[in-house]
Amino acid sequence: MRKAVLLSGGILPFVLAVVVVDQVSKGYARNTLQGLPPFTAPGGVIRFEYVENSAGFLGFLLAVPEPLRGIVLTVGVGLLLLAFTVIVLRYQQRLSIAQITVASLILAGGTSNLIDRLINNGGVIDFIAITLGPFSTGIFNLADVYILGGGFYLGYSLARLLPPAHP
């Protein structure tokens, strides 16, 4: 019964709430960090630095020429989000509440970054970096956390459903 309630009215408000949280965090970063040098929080683990990223996650598409990159990161991502939504809605009865929740996080993160690209001339606002000893991330935003965290969990949970491989 809880799953039916989540599916019937809970996905869209949840996705919208997550998008709003991400957009508010990016607006706050723009208003407080833009034009300033990077700021490292006490303890040295988290660094805040305003960046408008027009090359995809961690600059992955930097070598792709600009017109094509823009198409891939707007039209391509929009189509992927649409396909992902259709798949989740089609198979929702087979998914657990946790899988639906993380699928919603992926959808919300992707949608929020797509909104950024559409309103910021192809750029996504990134502003967080983490350093733990020798490990250091690139600069990212909350939507990236939703997408990666949700993707890892969803992949792990779906992979557990596969039959064991035989040597």
Tens-digit pLDDT profile for residues 41-92: 988 899 999 999 887 776 677 777 777 888 888 899 999 999 999 988 888 8
Residue 13 has pLDDT above 50, yes or no: yes
pLDDT of amino acid 167? 67
Long-range contacts for 118-121 (Cβ within 8 Å, ≥24 apart)? 118/74, 120/52, 121/54
pLDDT of amino acid 118? 94
Percentage of the residues of the chain whose pLDDT score is greater than 70: 91
Cβ atoms of residues 26 and 128 within 8 Å = no
**Tally of domains in the chain:** 1
pTM of the model: 0.85
Residue 164 lies in a domain: no
Residue 14 lies in a domain: yes
Average pLDDT over residues 95-124: 93
Residue 155 lies in a domain: yes
Tens-digit pLDDT profile for residues 74-83: 899 999 999 9
46-53: strand order across its sheet? 39-40, 46-53, 124-132, 135-136
pLDDT of amino acid 10? 67
Long-range contacts for 6-13 (Cβ within 8 Å, ≥24 apart)? 6/97, 6/100, 6/101, 7/92, 7/100, 11/100, 11/104
Residue 161 has pLDDT above 80, yes or no: no
Residue 2 has pLDDT above 60, yes or no: no
Residue 19 lies in a domain: yes
pLDDT of amino acid 17? 94
83: tokens are 């396909």
Residue 80 lies in a domain: yes
The CA-based diameter of the chain, rounded to the nearest angstrom, is: 57
Domain boundaries, position 48: 2-159
The answer for residues whose C-beta is within 8 angstroms of residue 77's C-beta and 6 or more apart is: 110, 113, 114, 117
